[in-house]
Amino acid sequence: MKTPVHLPHPTVSWQLTVHAGGTDPLVFARVLQKAAVPEIALEAAAYARSPARLELTVTCSEARAELTRRKLERLLDVRAVILHRVPSARAPYGACA
């Protein structure tokens, strides 16, 4: 029987959605590099679903996800970065649901 691993900071997958009306995906990618926090493992690169909406999925603690959200707002100079938890089925193995 395996002993469960207890992480000091529970990690889950979070989706950051930026509503930045026409932000160029290349500009967004550069901003993400500036906002990067070492503890965050990027699961997916930035991609555009529409010209006004860019999304990024990160795996980290809630506090780190919130910190990243605030950094993106400041660096992109927008006030519409939405943070929400990805359903636990998509969370990586070993992450807290």
Give the mean model confidence (pLDDT) for residues 23-44.
Answer: 59
Q: How far apart are CA 9 and CA 6, in angstroms?
A: 9
In this predicted structure, the answer to whether residue 48 has a pLDDT above a threshold of 60 is no
Which range of residues forms the domain containing residue 26?
Answer: 12-90
At 71-81, the pLDDT tens digits run 777 776 666 67
CATH for 31: 3.30.70.260
Query: Count of domains in the chain?
Result: 1
Question: Does 60 reside within a domain?
Answer: yes
- Is residue 96 one of the residues assigned to a domain? no
User: Counting Cβ atoms within 10 Å, is residue 1 exposed (0-12), middle (13-18) or buried (19+)?
Assistant: exposed
Looking at the domain assignment, is residue 5 inside a domain?
no
What are the C-alpha distances in Å from 46 to residues 12, 49, 61, 73? Answer: 18, 10, 20, 15
pLDDT, tens digit, 9 for 90 and up, residues 62-72:
787 788 778 77
Whether 44 maps to a domain, the answer reads yes
pTM of full prediction above 0.85? no
The reply to whether 7 falls in a domain is no
Burial of 26 (0-12, 13-18, 19+ CB in 10 A): exposed
- Least Cα distance to 96 among 13, 3, 37 occurs for 13
